[in-house]
Amino acid sequence: MRRIRIGVLASGGGTNLQAIIDACERGEIDGDVVVVISNVPEAYALERARTHRIPAFAFPHKGLTREDHEKDVIGCLAQHQVDLVVLAGYLRMMTPLFIDKYAGRIMNTHPALLPSFGGKDMHGLKVHQAVLDYGCKVSGCTIHFVTAEVDGGQIILQKSVPVLEDDTAETLQERILKEEHKLFPRAIQLFAQGKLKIEGRRVRILET
């Protein structure tokens, strides 16, 4: 079976990127990260890529329309013949230009159990603080396909994490991130194995 070619988009430190690279190198994913792209030139994710000899590119978005910026990113992904696009802490909302190009081939992670605590401006510590403020007893993470609706794509995998009485946004984030680092590679491997089938709002995980 041909190994899939993965392109990762990240805006920050890239801990999920590192988890995916490590899983590929351990043989847990039938694929390889072939390019890493950031909209932030100083993003540490780019350094992580270079450490593993993975091509890394920065495409700053300031001064460009969303579409013009995405054309640069799409061109780079096409040059590296990417099969699956992974958003790993990429803090840009995608336009229809990008989503239509890679429909059914874009994955994202969200640090809560969607559809709760998702949507525009809900990222990072804001999500965890909102969970705590609401008094939730359980939170977690969600791996989903990307559609035009922010955090509204079909859910692939979810993992619940208990909210502890003395949790802060930071401690909850830390525990959920550990689960993200396991769940994201699992979802990518299911894609690599051809086991994910989108049926309307649902993603069916095929046995064969």
Residue 190 lies in a domain: yes
In this structure, is residue 71 part of a structural domain? yes
3-state SS, residue 19: helix
Does residue 150 belong to any structural domain of this protein? yes
In-domain check, residue 207: no
The β-bridge partners of 56 are 36
Identify the active-site residue in 61, 69, 80, 110: 110
**What is the reported pLDDT for 208?**
63
pLDDT at 207 (0 to 100): 87
**Catalytic site residue 110?**
yes
User: How far is the C-alpha of 53 from the C-alpha of 20, rounded, in Å?
Assistant: 15
Structural domain harbouring 23: 4-196
Helix (H/G/I), strand (E/B), else coil: 58: strand
Question: How many folded domains does the chain comprise?
Answer: 1
Task: Tell me what pLDDT residue 182 has.
Answer: 97
Residue 203 counted as domain residue: no
In a domain, 147, yes or no: yes
pLDDT at 120: 85
In sequence order, what are the beta bridge partners of 158? 142
In a domain, 205, yes or no: no
- Identify the CATH number of the domain in which residue 135 sits: 3.40.50.170
* pLDDT digits (tens), the chain, 208 positions: 789 999 999 999 999 999 999 999 999 999 999 999 999 999 999 999 999 999 999 999 999 999 999 999 999 999 999 999 999 999 888 999 999 999 999 999 999 999 999 998 888 899 999 999 999 999 999 999 999 999 999 999 999 999 999 999 999 999 999 999 999 999 999 999 999 999 999 999 998 6
Q: Give one word for 104, left, alpha or beta, with left for phi > 0 and alpha for psi -120 to 50.
A: left
Residues 6+ apart with CB under 8 A from 172: 128, 131, 132, 139, 161, 163, 164
